[in-house]
Structure 1
Amino acid sequence: MTAKKPSTTTTWTDPDDAPELTEAFFKNADQYVGAQLKTRGRPKASVTKEPVKIRLDADVLAALRASGEGWQTRINDTLRASLKLAGRV
């Protein structure tokens, strides 16, 4: 039978030993608006893209990747234009 380990006691820290609050501390601190945590970084987009898995021929994929950064966006734009030509969008 396993026995529970006794919980460790927390040691009291003198408030005078607290670290100094520097600009770096406040730069990395969490920010709240009321009780709500204000998130950092890029805001969430109202319309997001959905990740999918698609199988392409190796030469087609190589040509798309060789076109440089943003090749996935160009695929999306090409597919959208193709659907418009077909009258489906």
Structure 2
Amino acid sequence: MAKKTLKTFQPDRGYTKEDWDEVGDNPEWTAEDFAKARPFAEVLPDLAASIRRGRGPNKAPTKKLVSLRLSREVIDKYKAGGDGWQSRIDADLRRINKIK
């Protein structure tokens, strides 16, 4: 389903009337325009690479992925504390088992 194009300025959409007026006269693309278009990574390779780079490889993994079944109450309690609940479980288990 195609997105409907806005034909008139509508406030409170994240841009100003000046922004709307600045780009409002951009013409529709033709088949010729699309034929001449090049991929983003080809036009701006350095920027594309920096975006693609992301977090990078974990050269010395300090943690191991495991599957662990915990009670709903335990999970709910940790999740209620917000983001980082998995790390808090790890920290609590390390403390209980006297692991530095």
> What is the alpha-carbon root mean square deviation over aligned residues?
3.3
Give runs of aligned pairs for residues 42-61 of structure 1, distance below 5 A.
42-45=55-58, 46-61=60-75
Query: Which portions of structure 1, spanning 4 or more consecutive aligned residues, are displaced by more than 3 angstroms?
Result: none
Equivalent residue letter for 1:25: V
1:32-89 Cα distance to aligned partner (Å, 9 max, x none): xxxxxxx7222223224222111111111111111110000000111111111xxx66
Equivalent residue letter for 1:40: R
- Structure number having the greater strand percentage: 1
Aligned position for 1:63: 77
Question: C-alpha distance in 1, partners of 2:91/2:56?
Answer: 23
Equivalent residue letter for 2:65: P
- Against the structure 1 CA distance between its residues 19 and 61, is the aligned structure 2 distance closer, same or farther, given a 3 Å change threshold? closer
Q: How many residue pairs were aligned?
A: 61
Question: C-alpha distance in 2, partners of 1:41/1:61?
Answer: 29
**1:19 Cα deviation after fit:** 6.2
Does the residue aligned with 1:73 lie in a helix, a strand or coil?
A: helix
Aligned position for 2:3: none
Equivalent residue letter for 1:81: R
Larger radius of gyration between Structure 1 and Structure 2: 1
Aligned position for 1:25: 43
2:91 maps to 1:77: yes
Taking only the aligned residue pairs, the percentage that are identical comes to: 32
Question: C-alpha distance in 1, partners of 2:90/2:56?
Answer: 22
TM-score (norm 2): 0.45
Equivalent residue letter for 1:51: L
